[in-house]
Amino acid sequence: MERRYVGISDASAYLGMSQRWMYRESRKHGIPRYYFGGRLKFRIDDLDRWAQQQKTT
């Protein structure tokens, strides 16, 4: 399992969204997030899993 943590700028670029969106939606819609030393971090595999769950038919 991937354990790479990335900051808000890398996570937002990875999903193609703004940093503002990432802050808001991670809190509002449960995108898994972590805090280390007061800094918001995301795991790439969590972002992939969350994105897959957003798939529409």
The number of folded domains in the chain is 1
Residues 3, 25: Cα–Cα separation, whole Å: 22
| pLDDT level of residue 1 (50, 70, 90 thresholds) | low
Domain residue limits at 47: 5-53
Residue predicted with more confidence, 1 or 33: 33
Q: What is the tens place of the pLDDT at every residue in 3-53?
A: 689 999 999 999 999 999 999 988 888 889 999 999 999 999 999 999 998
Exposed, middle or buried, 55 (CB in 10 Å: 0-12/13-18/19+)?
exposed
pTM of the predicted protein model: 0.82
Helix (H) or strand (E) holding 6: strand 5-7
